[in-house]
Amino acid sequence: MQRIGVFVCHCGTNIAATVDVARVVEAAAKEPGVVHAEDYQYMCSEAGQLKIREAIKEKNLTGIVVCSCSPRMHENTFRQAAERAGINPYMVEIANIREHCSWIHKDIEEATEKAVILARAAIAKVTLNAPLQSGTSRVVKRALVIGGGIAGIQTALDIADAGYEVDIVEKTPSIGGRMSQLDKTFPTLDCSACILTPKMVEAAAHDKITIYTYSEVEKVSGFVGDFQVDIRKKARSVDMSKCTGCGVCQEKCPSKKTPNEFNRGLNTRSAIYTPFAQAIPNVPVIDRENCIKFKTGKCGVCSKVCQAGAIDYEQKDEIVTQNYGAIVVATGFDTIKLDKFDEYSYSTSPDVITSLELERIMNAAGPTKGHLERMSDHKPPKSMVFIQCVGSRCADKRGKSYCSKICCMYTAKHAMLIRDKYPDVEVTVFYIDVRTPGKNFDEFYRRAVEEYGVNYIKGQVGKVAEKGGKLLVQGVDLIDNKRILMETDMVVLATAIEPNPDVRKIATMLTASIDTNNFLTESHAKLRPVESPTAGIFLSGVCQGPKDIPETVAQAGAAAVKVVGLLAKDHLVTNPCTAKSDELLCNGCSSCEKVCPYGAISYEEKEVNDHGIRETRRVAVVNSALCQGCGACTVACPSGAMDLQGFSNRQILAEVDAICR
Amino acid sequence: MHRTEQEQAELLKEISGVDTKKCMKCGKCSASCPAYEEMDIRPHQFVSYVQNGDVKALLKSKSIWKCLSCFACVERCPRDVKPAKLIEAVRLMVIRERGGNYLTPDEVPELLDEELPQQLLASAFRKYSK
Amino acid sequence: MQVEKTQEFRPKIVAFCCNWCSYAGADLAGSSRLAYPADVKIIRVPCSCRVNPMFILRAFQRGADGVILCGCHPGDCHYTTGNYYARRRMTLLFSMLDYLGVENGRTRVEWVSAAEGVKFSTTMNEFVAKIHSLGENVRLGDLRCKKD
């Protein structure tokens, strides 16, 4: 029989205000096996843990129940406390009476009653706990970063500088990401390329960093410390070792009508192309869907003009398989599609553009060589209107429920830059709220208003209509309670951002949680913001939530530190809650093997002693190093031979019984 | 039956099914409204007037007869607040207090102006026949 | 007051929650103070596929009025495929339970991610309301293990 100690935490008033802690102690003390029960203000504090350790020693406790916050919060704390007092850490169970009880119930009677039942279930479970021993697993000293934008580049650089090998996988032909498309950056107005390209070059030159561009992660297996990843290197049709990056092929390519993705479709590019001049690697790819040679078999101009003989039409996709100890997701974002916002005439008027398109127009390497002009007639605008929150903060299905966070600042930036370079252009911004939390952010916005004379109007725009080559903007000034009807030359929409559409596929491969907006979920909103709940998976940049460049770089560094902390370990302690088969009950039917996602179950011919009869049987054996403890096999097993340690059939049934008592 | 202004506000929310708390005061309803200039109290104000229990002013407002029931505000509201339904609810409250219907199919003249948009007729039934 | 409480129907509801998604979702509901009735008691399992139909039968035998199983959204299972197994197993089990007289309304599978505290709370509120409308689970009376 176990000797169980029950420790009930007040959590200040978090628990004690709605749960009568004394009654929980009293009720727990009456449960079979309980030899000690007490309460304390903060069980997780050093003094609280000391109480647990002392009680273990004084009363020879063999099992511990802590009634406190979620086990996701402090299970480890209390396991360590138990271990320090000399008992197996897996002899500890937590009754979650905070998140699952005191915080959601108001009635003290009801909440106390429920807390007692939850305590009872935990006591019933711990009665059946058995000591478990963790094994160890290896750590591959190499990290994978998915996404080669500023988030991925920064994470990779920080990991590599700590001395570990890093691979970056980037889907497009070059690293650089969204930041490479930007012209200037707030709040200091640095040129984006000037601060990004040195980092791109540094990453490419780093002896610890390998960059796979035009590549995608195809398959992921394994677990923390030892992931196996297949990377598909798409056929570039250009030999990277031979190409000199001279650019003649792009000039001579006769197929020049493909929308230029890098310039957001504002102009066209050739079928053989590098996305931008500072691309890394500076090796073009052939877009086979638009290449005349691939479509008709006739052309081959690029091959003829290439003096290095680098063009290779026969090149095939290549799969690289590599093992990694940790994976960082840095897949970034895109702007939402505006097809559901017809009122702004985005799809019908070329002079209604998104902010990202304006970035390209303002950029010296962009479709207009940096001249501010209308896309319809290439004339410079005399007035411009910016509309905020297009698709952000939407309760309906057309947009996103969240604030995209960056738009208020980049709109202030655009307005300021335009007024600076073209003082004759009237700039009006329609806003709902101006949100500028951040160092020197509000000051920046105020400069746009006070120094540069940008006209901010509180009120959303209802309609934008094309009329005689002009755009008619119908809005309202909520402060003056007046209708605004104005003619303008260009309208810029602060379009909501959303996670890169590929992220769902990647999250599924990594078994990393994702929320309803396709943002990856962090392990703890405040205390573990760069870790996924899936061990060994880390988050960097906008894939976790909207953020600007300074925040992205900070988070990228944080993710890198977490990766380095993991890779620095010689080995990892494995989860001992693995499946275990009872040889005497197993009939060797292979049901468990079929459902195991990790291939952890194999069969051995074993001599067993079944009630005096010795015979050789085919029985299931679980490789505890591979088993992750999901328990699928335990339910598939028809003979009840397979059970999961730490969550055994008897333990869960005991909990069910205790709850339904 | 006499109701306080607060009770009337609650009734308006009930009739219209509008949750005024959802409004984030962006003004897109008023910005979209084709009858804005004709109105003394504007669509976005209807939401905050009801929220603040200021119903008397709404009942006297000429806006309720100017609203075309085009539902542009309902369509474009990013928070799904449906201001037109609120305006309609106020109109309904006024009509109910007066008693009796105002427009029956018999009252529609046989010869209608061909220029008259069908929507106007449909919205006239909405407005006057509840 | 006390007398009234005991007369009022207080359903016994067991919720099996996957450690990686809905258990965390329930934690989020808690830290966001999104209330649901105290009748729901959560049992933590490593994955929805760990839930043996036996556990659910046992709950009904012991007098549970409703059982809900929450797992990761299809495609998002922490162990890749566990929730698919759970879904198939529960489909079979629930149709058998319905045949035995435990109506389909008393059993439910719901996908709740770690980020869906609101969904967890509304799901539990709905489920408890449903059990209230169905009343006490008496159809399995002969299968119950009564202690008297």
d(CA A481, CA B45): 9
First to last CA, chain B: 19
Task: Show me where the domains of chain C are located.
Answer: 11-136
Tens digit of pLDDT for each residue in B4-36?
A: 999 999 999 999 999 999 999 999 999 999 999
What's the domain range around B57? 5-128
d(CA A41, CA A128): 28
Helix, coil or strand: residue A318:
strand
Lowest mean pLDDT among A397-411, B116-130, C120-134: B116-130
CATH architecture entry for A142-234+317-332+500-567: 3-Layer(bba) Sandwich (3.50)
Q: Are A88 and A64 in contact (CB under 8 A)?
A: no
Interface of C with A in 34-73 (CB under 8 A): 34-36, 38, 41-47, 49-55, 58-59, 62-64, 72
Residue A515 has its nearest CB partner, among C27, C47, C113, at C113
CATH code, domain with B12: 1.10.1060
Left, alpha or beta for A459 (phi > 0: left; psi -120 to 50: alpha)? left
What's residue B100's pLDDT? Answer: 58
Provide the shortest C-alpha distance from residue A59 to chain C (in Å): 29
Q: Which chains touch C (3 or more CB pairs under 8 A)?
A: A
Q: Are A117 and A91 in contact (CB under 8 A)?
A: no
Fold of A4-127: Rossmann fold (3.40.50)
pTM, entire model: 0.88
Structural domains in chain B (count): 1
Residues in A touching C14 (Cβ below 8 Å): 656, 659-660
Residue B24 has its nearest CB partner, among A393, A461, A474, at A393
Q: Are A513 and C81 within 8 A, CB to CB?
A: no
DSSP string computed for C53-94:
HHHHHHHHHTT-SEEEEEEPPTT--TTSSHHHHHHHHHHHHH
**Right CATH number for A334-498 from 3.40.50.1100, 3.40.50.12780, 3.50.50.60, 2.60.120.10?**
3.50.50.60
CATH architecture entry for A579-645: 2-Layer Sandwich (3.30)
Q: Are C50 and A630 within 8 A, CB to CB?
A: yes
For chain A, give the mean pLDDT: 95
Pairing of strands A463-467, A470-477: antiparallel
User: Residues, chain A, total?
Assistant: 661
* Residue A179 pLDDT > 90: yes
d(CA B19, CA B17): 7
Q: Are A595 and C85 within 8 A, CB to CB?
A: yes
- Would the CATH topology of A142-234+317-332+500-567 be identical to that of A579-645? no
Please state the φ and ψ torsions of residue A61, each to the nearest 5 degrees.
-70, 145
Across A534-556, average pLDDT: 96
Residues in B touching A432 (Cβ below 8 Å): 24-27
CA distances, A121 to each of A7, A307, A437, C63 (Å)? 14, 76, 46, 16
Residues in A touching B36 (Cβ below 8 Å): 476, 483
Across A68-81, average pLDDT: 95
Tally C-beta pairs within 8 A across A and C: 163
Those residues with Cβ within 8 angstroms of residue A506's Cβ, 6 or more apart along the chain or in another chain: A146, A217, A329, A331
Residue B94 pLDDT grade (very low, low, confident, very high; cuts 50, 70, 90)? confident
C91 at interface of A, judged by CB pairs closer than 8 A: no
Give the DSSP letter of residue A102: I
The helix or strand, by DSSP H or E, that contains position A652, with its residue range, turns out to be helix A649-660
Task: Show me where the domains of chain A are located.
Answer: 4-127, 142-234+317-332+500-567, 248-305, 334-498, 579-645
B63 at interface of A, judged by CB pairs closer than 8 A: no
Q: Are C52 and A100 within 8 A, CB to CB?
A: no
B30 at interface of A, judged by CB pairs closer than 8 A: yes
What's residue C101's pLDDT? Answer: 85
Instruction: For tokens 């007289």, name the residue.
Output: C101
Q: Are A493 and A510 in contact (CB under 8 A)?
A: no
What's residue C148's pLDDT? Answer: 45
Residue A535: CB atoms within 10 A of its CB come to 15
* Residue A94 pLDDT > 80: yes
Instruction: For tokens 């980092």, name the residue.
Output: A199
Those residues with Cβ within 8 angstroms of residue C16's Cβ, 6 or more apart along the chain or in another chain: C42, C43, C45, C48, C51, C55, C56, C67, C68, C69, C70
First to last CA, chain C: 28
* Residue C146 pLDDT > 60: no
Q: Are A121 and C27 within 8 A, CB to CB?
A: no
**Right CATH number for C11-136 from 3.30.1360, 3.40.50, 3.60.9, 3.30.70?**
3.40.50
Interface of A with B in 469-498 (CB under 8 A): 474-476, 478, 481, 483-484
Across A650-660, average pLDDT: 96
What's residue B126's pLDDT? Answer: 66
Q: What was the ipTM of the complex prediction?
A: 0.93
Nearest to B22 by CA among B86, B95, B66, B102: B86
Tens digit of pLDDT for each residue in A220-260?
A: 998 899 999 999 999 999 999 999 999 999 999 999 999 99
Those residues with Cβ within 8 angstroms of residue A611's Cβ, 6 or more apart along the chain or in another chain: none
